[in-house]
Copies of this chain bind each other. A is one copy, B any other.
């Protein structure tokens, strides 16, 4: 094995941030471009996104959601219609001021999110309760002019889906907000093998203009949290300023009840940081662009290349498989290369294997080597890929459990966080000042008020006043 090759990646325990950057660049997931904060998502990274899209889009459609496409530019006057919303987003938008060689009469911002556009069109289209609900979504790019940027995690441009729905009743809209949160939770757990923490954001952390924001939180290798998806209930906060009205069943005019929900290419950053190790990326089989790579051993010997090609043809019907017959590299180099790229299963096949009608399969998750009869390969691969998917989830889950601690006072809070990072469960009085103070002292923010509550104590961890809500806290990406 070419040990030098592995050394090129920074040690994950020594410098996690640099390890992350190394993986993004060396596994060819993305690259920097000539504009700060704008990345090129390379084919290998984009293929992960395509698999996420395909999975999630079919789930949305089962809930009756339809896709559409709204304009990328929003007039300044539209952005300003909802007060909290403009305060939240105006500081971080990019403005188009010149078009077709002429200065524009009104500045147009590149969408940071599209509530204002959807609301304008919904107001135009809606007339009766019979038209409702509108369950629309778009897959698109958005811009937010962040100061600090990191590929996938915090880019000035990112790809996402934004769902925007309007409903006849408050109950229906609230229910739909949570249904979409469940789609996110299911996708992240089942496809991406990352356990999620579900709950409601505190007022401080909720979306600009929302009545309630729900979130799915995930925990990374270094114990910091990543917000992986959010779903917002708006009530009539947008439908009133944007005049989204309908004639209800009683023949009266009523404002619609609205939701929005989004997930982004940030999920790719999550997959990297939740699963990776010192050999590189580790991809869950269900989302991996390449599930299996075939590496022939002693390729120059008679019949080896052909046997590998035959294997490829046999497997490509059922799996996303790659055959590595590059002549300029040794098998050892290839092993490292594909391990770095996180391919879940490697198949090694050499002259002796061919003679014995066997091959070796190597699991990326735990490096286990398994000798398999060629006649039994298809079934064995199916079983192994499932095991890998499950094991990767279990490993993450174990980390979440290990890195979740309870704090009854601020000393415990700080100590736990310092020793362990991770999630801190602690009671909270509901006061935004306590949130701010906790953040100042520890660097942790409230992740959410989990749906699954525990009664840890009856006092706020910060001020000691009576507290009924348990909040999960943590440092975040």
Residues of chain A having any CB pair with chain B under 8 Å: 31, 33-35, 38-43, 45-47, 49-50, 66-75, 78, 91-101, 107-108, 110, 117, 120-121, 124-125, 130, 136, 140-141, 143, 145-147, 156-157, 159, 326, 328
Given contacts A91-B101, A130-B326, A140-B141, 5 further A-B contacts (CB under 8 A): A33-B71, A35-B74, A40-B121, A94-B99, A99-B145
Which of B42, B75, B136, B157 touches A34 (beta carbons < 8 Å)? B75
Which of B42, B98, B99, B157 touches A71 (beta carbons < 8 Å)? B157
Within 8 Å CB of A69, what residues of B?
40-41, 46, 49, 141, 159
A19 to B352, CA, bound (A): 72
Interface-central residue, A34, A93, A146, by most chain B CB under 10 Å: A34
The answer to whether A95 touches B92 (Cβ under 8 A) is no
The answer to whether B121 touches A33 (Cβ under 8 A) is yes
Contact (A34, B120) CB under 8 Å given A40-B71, A43-B66, A157-B71: yes
A interface secondary structure, majority: mixed
Interface-central residue, A67, A73, A78, by most chain B CB under 10 Å: A73
The answer to whether A40 touches B70 (Cβ under 8 A) is yes
Interface-central residue, A31, A43, A92, by most chain B CB under 10 Å: A43
A244 to B252, CA, bound (A): 65
CB distance from A324 to the nearest CB of B (A): 13
The answer to whether B75 touches A121 (Cβ under 8 A) is no
A38 to B238, CA, bound (A): 22
Within 8 Å CB of A40, what residues of B?
68-71, 117, 121
CB distance from A74 to the nearest CB of B (A): 8
A31 to B92, CA, bound (A): 28
Nearest chain B residue, comparing its CB with the CB of A108: B35
A136 to B43, CA, bound (A): 8
The answer to whether A143 touches B38 (Cβ under 8 A) is no
CB distance from A382 to the nearest CB of B (A): 24
